[in-house]
Amino acid sequence: MQTLLIAVLAGVGFIVAYNTYGRWLGGKIFALSATAVCPSESMNDGVDYVPTEKSVVFGHHFTSIAGTGPIVGPAIAVMWGWVPALLWVVFGSIFIGAVHDFGSLVVSLRNRGQTVGDIAGRVMKPRVRILFLSILFMALTIVLAIFGLVIAAVFRQYPASIFPCLIQIPIAVVIGILLHRKGAHLLLPSLIALGVMYVTVIFGNDGFLGSFNNALAAWPIMTWVVVLLVYSYVASVLPVWLLLQPRDYINSLQLISALGLIVVGLFGAAFMGGYAPAGVERPALRIVAPMLNTAPQGAPFIFPFLFITIACGACSGFHCLVSSGTSSKQLKSETDARFVGYGGMLTEGFLATLVILACCAGLGLGANVNGEMLTGEAAWQARYASWGAASGLGAKVGAFVDGSANFLMAIGIPGGTAVALMGVLVASFAGTTLDTACRLQRYVVQELAATLGGTYSAEGENAKPTGFWGLLENKHGATTFAVLLGTAVAGAPLGSWSEWSWSTAGKGGLLLWPLFGATNQLLAGLALMVIFFYLWRRGKPIWFVSLPMIFMLIMPIWAMSLQLFSGEQSWIKTGNWLVVSIGFATIALEIWMIVEAFLLVPKVKGLLEAGALETRGTAPARKLSNAC
C-alpha cells in the first residue's frame, strides 16, 4: 500500500499546487486577462499562429514537453534512492519547472509569440539575444540528433510500437483537413483514431502486422534517423492545424489513457498483487529499491547529478522553447496559459512519479533477466547492480516498460499487449518532441539569420533577403539546414571516418547524450533569467523566480565542469573532443550571460525596456531604459 499511497499523495499535491500556487502566479503575478488579444489572433497566419482551444493546445504542449526525458531520467536516477528522486520530481515540478514553463509561456504571449531567446535581447541587452539564440541552436541540434537516435532504438527494442506510431500520421492529416474545413470538434475523430491505434497495438505481434513491424525494426539506426528527420521537416513546414495539432491531440489522448491504465494497474497491484499463473500466489506490491544510496557502484555523486539526470520530470529548459515557440502562438486566451503551462508541467511531474514507482516497485513484481524470471530485490539488482549496467538506453527504457507492464498485467492485460502499450507510450512521447523540436529549430535558425543579416533585394515592404542568410530566413531553407545538421551529428562516427559504415552509424552521435542533460538544464536557468528581468522591469515580485534561477544556473555548470575535468572518465581524459568543445562553449556562453545580467540588474529596476511590446499591468515606468 505504500506505493499506492505515494502515487495518491503526489497526485493530490499536484492538484492542490495548481489551484493555489498556480492560481496565485496567474492572478497576482502575471495578471492574466481573458480580454487580452493573444498573438494567435493579432498575427493569425493560418500556419504557425492559429487560435486554438486550450484542450488542443494542452495536448500539443504536454506531448511535446514529455519526451523520453521524464522516463529515462527518473529510471536511472532512482539508483541514488527513490526518496531523493521523488522529492526532486514533486517539489521541483511545483516550484521550479512549472514556474519556468508558465512564465516562459506568459512572457512570450506578451511579446507576439516570440521565443525567450528573442525576448532576452529586449529585456536584457541586444547581444544577449545572440548569446541565447546560440545556446538554443546548439541545444536543439543535440535534441534533433539524440531523439532521432532514441526513437530508432525504441523501435528496434519494441517492434510492436512501430505501426501504431506510423498510422497516427495519415489519420492526423485526414482529421486536420476535415476539421479545418468543417470546423468540427477534435475529440470524437481523435477517439476513433485512438481506437484504431489500440487495435494495431493488440495485434502488433501477430500475422501481417507482426511481420511488418519486425521487418522495419531490422532497419539500420541511420535509416530510421533519416526517415524520422525527413518526417520532422514535413511536420515543421506544414500548418499546425494540418498535422501537428491533430497528431499531438491524438497522442495526448493515447498518453493520458496509458497513464490512466498505469494508475488503474497500480491500484490493482496494490490490492490484489501482481500477475501470477493459476495456482501460484500473486506477489505483493512493495518498493524493492533503496530509499537512499549516495554511492551506487560506478555512479557520480548525487549532487549535482541528480538534478541533471532528472530534467523533464522536474524542470527542463526544452520546455521554455515549446512554451514560447509553438504553444504561445496557438493559445487564444491568456487565461488558458495556467492550464497549459503550469498544468502541463504538473502532469509531467505525475508521469515521472509513476515512472519512479514502476522502476522501484513494479519491477519487483517480475522481470525476465537472461531467460530467468526474478522478483523482489533480485529483479531490482539485476537491472541496477551498477551505474554502467543501468545507464544504457535499453536498460532505462526497459526498467520502466517492464515495471509499468507489470501493473497492467495485474488487472488482466496480457503481457505482450502490456509491453507493446508501454513501448508505444515511450515512442510517441519521443516522436512528438522530435517534430516540435524541428519546428523550434526552424524559428531559431530564422531568427539568427535575420540578426546576422544579409543583403536585400529592395527596400521597404517589398524587401526580401538574398544570399545564404536570406536562404536561412526562408522556412524551407531553415528547416532543411536544421535537418541536415541533425542528421550529420546523429551519424557521427564513434572512431575515425575510415571505420564509418551505414550499418554502424549512430553510435558516435550518442556520445552527445551526456551534453543533453546539462545543456538542457542550463536553458532552464537562462529562461528563468529572462522571466526575472521581465518582472524586475515591471516592479513585480521576483523572489519566487530568483531562487529557482540561481539553482538552475549553478547545477548545470557544476555538473558540466565535473564531466569535463573530474575522474578517469572525464571528457578531456577520454579524448571526446567534440563534446569537450561544445561543453566549453556552453560554459563560456553561460558565464557571459550571467556577467551581463549581474551588471544590468541595478540599472533597470522599474525601467520598461525599449521597444516593449506590452505595458499592461506594469508598475509606473519612470522612463524607457537605455541599458539595452
Best CA proximity match to 115, nearest among 540, 563, 399, 445: 445
Q: Is the pLDDT of residue 461 over 70?
A: no
- Burial category of 513 from C-beta neighbours within 10 Å (exposed 0-12, middle 13-18, buried 19 and up): middle
C-alpha cell read off for 483: 535537418
User: Residue 576: is its pLDDT beyond 90?
Assistant: no
C-alpha span between 274 and 409 (Å, rounded)? 7
Say whether pLDDT at 453 is over 90: no
- What's the residue count for the chain? 628
pLDDT above 70 for 544: yes
**Helices 415-452 and 54-65, interaxial angle, to 10°?**
100
609 inside domain: no
pLDDT-derived band at 459, boundaries 50, 70, 90: low
| Pairwise pLDDT comparison (287 vs 513), residue with the higher score | 287
Report the pLDDT value the prediction gives residue 621, as an integer from 0 to 100: 43
**Can you tell me the mean pLDDT for 530-555?**
95
pLDDT band at 626 (very low <50, low <70, confident <90, very high): very low
Domain that holds residue 15: 2-604
Q: Please give the tally of structural domains in the chain.
A: 1
Report pLDDT for 455. 53
Supply the CATH number for residue 233's domain: 1.20.1740.10
Q: How far is CA 339 from the centre of its chain?
A: 17
Residue among 28, 125, 7, 17 nearest 541 (CA): 28
* pLDDT class of 243 with cuts at 50, 70, 90: confident
DSSP assignment, residue 35? T
The whole-number pLDDT of residue 383 equals 85
Q: Say whether pLDDT at 628 is over 50.
A: no
For 188, other C-beta atoms within 10 Å of its C-beta total 10
Query: Residue 590 CA to chain centroid, in angstroms?
Result: 21
Share of the chain above pLDDT 90, in %: 47
Lowest mean pLDDT among 219-228, 258-267, 406-415, 506-515: 506-515
Model pTM above 0.85:
yes
**Is the pLDDT confidence value at 497 over 90?**
no
Report pLDDT for 307.
94
Q: What is the pLDDT of residues 340-389, one digit of tens each?
A: 999 999 999 999 999 999 999 999 999 877 778 888 999 998 888 877 76
Q: What is the DSSP string of 132-163?
A: HHHHHHHHHHHHHHHHHHHHHHHHHH-GGGHH
129 pLDDT above the threshold of 50: yes
21 found inside a domain: yes
Whether 618 maps to a domain, the answer reads no
- Asked, for residue 523, whether it belongs to a domain, the answer is yes
What DSSP string describes 516-581?
A: HHHHHHHHHHHHHHHHHHHHHTTT---HHHHHHHHHHHHHHHHHHHHHHHSSTT-TTTTT-HHHHH
Highest mean pLDDT among 9-23, 364-378, 446-460: 9-23
What is the spatial distance between Cα 454 and Cα 456, in angstroms, rounded to a whole number? 7
Q: Which residues contact 207 (CB under 8 A, 6 or more apart)?
A: none
**Structure confidence at residue 619 as a pLDDT band (50, 70, 90):** very low
Q: How far is CA 169 from CA 13, 57, 149, 220, in A?
A: 36, 18, 20, 22
Q: What is the pLDDT of residue 4?
A: 95
Mean pLDDT of the chain: 87
Cα gap 62→338, rounded to integer Å: 13
Weakest-pLDDT range from 27-31, 382-386, 458-462, 540-544? 458-462
> DSSP letters along 232-270, please?
HHHHHHS-TTTTHHHHHHHHHHHHHHHHHHHHHHHHHHH
User: Is residue 612, in this structure, part of any structural domain at all?
Assistant: no
Is the pLDDT at 456 greater than 80? The verdict is: no
Among residues 365, 369, 374, 366, which one has the least CA distance to residue 394? Answer: 369
Average pLDDT over residues 506-526: 77
624, part of any domain:
no
Residue 83 has pLDDT above 60, yes or no: yes
What is residue 62's three-state secondary structure? helix
Least confidently predicted of 195-209, 230-244, 321-335, 448-462: 448-462
* Furthest-apart CA atoms within the chain: distance in Å: 83
Backbone angles phi, psi at 162, to 5 degrees: -70, -60
Name the H helices within 474-512. Answer: 475-490
| Residue 618 scores a pLDDT above 70 | no
Give the residue from 320, 312, 384 showing the smallest Cα distance to 150: 312
Closest Cα partner for 376 from 367, 386, 389, 385? 367
Which helix (H) or strand (E) segment is 442 a member of?
Answer: helix 415-452
pLDDT at 277 over 90: no
| Least confident residue range of 90-99, 186-195, 362-371, 595-604 | 186-195
- Lowest pLDDT segment from 13-27, 469-483, 489-503, 519-533: 489-503
The region of weakest confidence among 195-204, 523-532, 552-561 is 195-204
Alpha carbons within 13 A on the beta-carbon side of 165: 27
* Res 189 pLDDT > 50: yes
SS3 at position 281: coil
Domain for residue 50, yes or no? yes
The answer as to whether 134 is a domain residue is: yes
Residue 623 has pLDDT above 50, yes or no: no
pLDDT of res. 134:
85
Residue 240 confidence (pLDDT) above 50: yes
